[in-house]
Structure 1
Amino acid sequence: MTSPLPNISGLADLAGHYDAVLSDVWGVVHNGVAAFPSAVDALVQYRKAGGKVVFITNAPRPSGPLIEMLDDLGVTRDAYDAIVSSGDATRVMIGKYTGRAIHHVGPPTEDDALYEGFDVRRTSADKAEAVVVTDLDTDEDTPEMYRQRAKLWLDRKLPMICANPDRVVEHGDKIIYCGGALGDLYAAMGGMVLMAGKPYRPIYQEAFRLAEVAAGKPLEKSRVLAIGDSVRTDATGAAQFGLDLLFVTGSIHAAELDAFGKPDPQAIVDLVAPSGASMAGFLPRLSW
């Protein structure tokens, strides 16, 4: 039977068709513990061949601290030209609360950079004017554990600013919940949830702008490739912005797709289809 997707062995098979890539980071370039060497090498080789790489990530921190984190994980700086994060986009939303009180949900100090330069007071939920969610408080938490707290937010009609739209992410050999899962819970309860990262247009517009800056010329969307591992964020975002997608199957969807065994291309097509994304191909891990 003919495969419903192009048969590719690595990014090299596609490189000549695209002047730039907008690549997801967590799940594609690293797993939260260490870089994927083949992915880093692929992006380095792509840039050596003349392509430009912009990292587009739902990390709930500004891009400055993320660069240092990538250094620590082994993602070399010659693998990318620029980076834009959900944290960058979220700071615009938080800035509207300068001089006012917000309630923070997530690691207590890890996301401090999100508030730098803003006169924003972090308080308990009963005194806040908004809830800012970066992630769940610990990696072991589940969204359902927050239902009682969310009832208070809802009773007070607090808007939720969700700095990380991802529902789950690969962390080492585990899958853990992210801020987006809590956003889903609050929305289902009737709360107002504001998100600025993938799959929403603002973060793609900024990433595309940075790619054009790196290229030193205007780019055609048909010549820009999105790379990602999430249907909800990466595939949907690529589709809505009009970019082809290289889908990485070996992360959060690895088990259901048998990514490292005998994956069924039709099953991959069926999984991604609701997003409307146009797939240029798939790989279990990004490689050259």
Structure 2
Amino acid sequence: MTRIIDALSGIAPNYDVLFCDLWGCVHNGISAYPAAVEALRAFRQGGGQVCLMTNAPRPSARVIEGFGRLGIPEDCWDAIVTSGDAAQDALFAGAVGRRVWHLGPEKDDGFFDVPAEWQNAPAIKRVELEDAEGIVCTGPFDEDTETPEDYRGRLMIARQKGLKLLCANPDIVVDVGERRIYCAGAIAEFYQELGGTSLYFGKPHPPIYDLARRRLNLWDGARVLVIGDGIRTDIAGGVGEGIDSLFITGGLAAEHMGDDVDKPDPVLLEQWLAGQGLDPTFSIGRLR
């Protein structure tokens, strides 16, 4: 049974490191949550390390560029890893070939920036679907209006060609303020339903956790806590890695937790978690 806590500070002394989700935990796509920022800052001041871990399909440098706009200060985190970072490694290693069709918006073009460690690798060329050896999916072309179903025809062609789809963001949906949009994970899941093959590198899959450990130079025995609002990404990833987890109930699952987003109803929470088949170590309404 998950334990509902009032604040991160109540359990912070038990951990050395936080693997903390961004969207839905630290910000809502428009601005940072002040209480979450203060909670992370206090953890660091107490001697802990914070790795921001996001399924954003862009390299971490591109994500950091947006922190000023969101109001996320430098003193509340030590490192950041993105699904884009982990997926980039796979792309430049040739996981889906060198000629790829990019299914995603222009804002994700940074995914194709060549990392320093891959400067000598053969070039990746973006081509039309009919000429592609594989697919790189960073999300819908128009996230405001499109759903996975809009890509049925093109994905059926891709499946017939035997193309693998590299998913740069395993999230299914994300909330931008009060608006919910589909992510690359929804398209990758749909492609699998159509009989295609999708490859994943962000949460809950191991590559992103391995990358986080390397960037923090974590030592054996470091006590890590995963924080996130995605039950199938953040919490499932923590369970898969054998790491304790703190579930933010006021994010993606808020509508199932009662009327007060800051205080999940214990009965509703337990019922909902039972239906998910996952039991986070701790739960809290909002990160604070």
- TM-score (normalizing by structure 1): 0.90
Instruction: State which drifts further: 83-92 or 255-264.
Output: 255-264
- In the TM superposition, what is the alpha-carbon distance from 1:48 to its structure 2 partner? 0.8
Match of 2:177 in 1: 172
The 8 Å contact of residues 103 and 132 in structure 1, kept in 2 or not, is answered as: yes
The 8 Å contact of residues 249 and 264 in structure 2, kept in 1 or not, is answered as: no
Match of 1:158 in 2: 163
- In the TM superposition, what is the alpha-carbon distance from 1:69 to its structure 2 partner? 1.2
Match of 1:193 in 2: 198
Match of 2:260 in 1: 260
- In the TM superposition, what is the alpha-carbon distance from 1:96 to its structure 2 partner? 3.2
**Structure 2: which amino acid aligns with 1:64?**
A
Match of 2:86 in 1: 89
Deviations along 1:27-63, whole A, 9 cap, x unmatched? Answer: 1111111111111111011111111100111100111
Match of 2:102 in 1: 104
* Structure 1: gaps (5+ residues): none
The 8 Å contact of residues 99 and 134 in structure 2, kept in 1 or not, is answered as: yes
Q: 1:259 to 1:30 in 2, by over 3 A?
A: farther
Match of 2:287 in 1: 286
**Structure 2: which amino acid aligns with 1:284?**
G
Q: 1:198 to 1:259 in 2, by over 3 A?
A: farther
Note the 1:11-30 alignment, pairs <5 A: 11-30=8-27
- In the TM superposition, what is the alpha-carbon distance from 1:275 to its structure 2 partner? 6.6
Q: 1:96 to 1:20 in 2, by over 3 A?
A: closer
Match of 2:151 among 146, 160, 168: 146
Does 2:137 correspond to 1:133? Answer: yes
- In the TM superposition, what is the alpha-carbon distance from 1:144 to its structure 2 partner? 1.0
- In the TM superposition, what is the alpha-carbon distance from 1:124 to its structure 2 partner? 1.0
**Structure 1: which amino acid aligns with 2:75?**
D
Match of 2:117 in 1: none
Match of 2:126 in 1: 122
**Structure 1: which amino acid aligns with 2:265?**
D
Output the CA distance in 1 between the equivalents of 2:153 and 2:140: 14
Deviations along 1:158-201, whole A, 9 cap, x unmatched? Answer: 10000000001111111111000001100011101001111011
Deviations along 1:74-98, whole A, 9 cap, x unmatched? Answer: 1111110001111011111211349
Output the CA distance in 2 between the equivalents of 1:65 and 1:143: 25
**Structure 2: which amino acid aligns with 1:8?**
I
The 8 Å contact of residues 86 and 211 in structure 2, kept in 1 or not, is answered as: no
The 8 Å contact of residues 166 and 180 in structure 1, kept in 2 or not, is answered as: yes
Aligned residues: 278
Q: 1:100 to 1:205 in 2, by over 3 A?
A: closer
* Structure 2: gaps (5+ residues): 115-121
* Identity score, percent: 40
- In the TM superposition, what is the alpha-carbon distance from 1:99 to its structure 2 partner? 8.4
- In the TM superposition, what is the alpha-carbon distance from 1:278 to its structure 2 partner? 5.2
The 8 Å contact of residues 165 and 188 in structure 2, kept in 1 or not, is answered as: yes
**Structure 2: which amino acid aligns with 1:252?**
L
Output the CA distance in 1 between the equivalents of 2:169 and 2:286: 23
Q: 1:161 to 1:10 in 2, by over 3 A?
A: same
Output the CA distance in 1 between the equivalents of 2:160 and 2:213: 40
Match of 2:233 in 1: 233
Deviations along 1:191-214, whole A, 9 cap, x unmatched? Answer: 01001111011111221333345x
Q: 1:24 to 1:235 in 2, by over 3 A?
A: same
Instruction: State which drifts further: 231-240 or 114-123.
Output: 114-123
**Structure 2: which amino acid aligns with 1:58?**
N
**Structure 2: which amino acid aligns with 1:235?**
I
The 8 Å contact of residues 90 and 196 in structure 1, kept in 2 or not, is answered as: yes
The 8 Å contact of residues 138 and 169 in structure 2, kept in 1 or not, is answered as: yes
Give the RMSD, CA atoms, in angstroms: 2.0
Partner of 1:104: helix, strand, or coil? strand
Partner of 2:52: helix, strand, or coil? strand
Q: Which runs of 4+ in 1 moved over 4 A?
A: 273-278
Instruction: State which drifts further: 245-254 or 118-127.
Output: 118-127
Instruction: State which drifts further: 224-233 or 204-213.
Output: 204-213
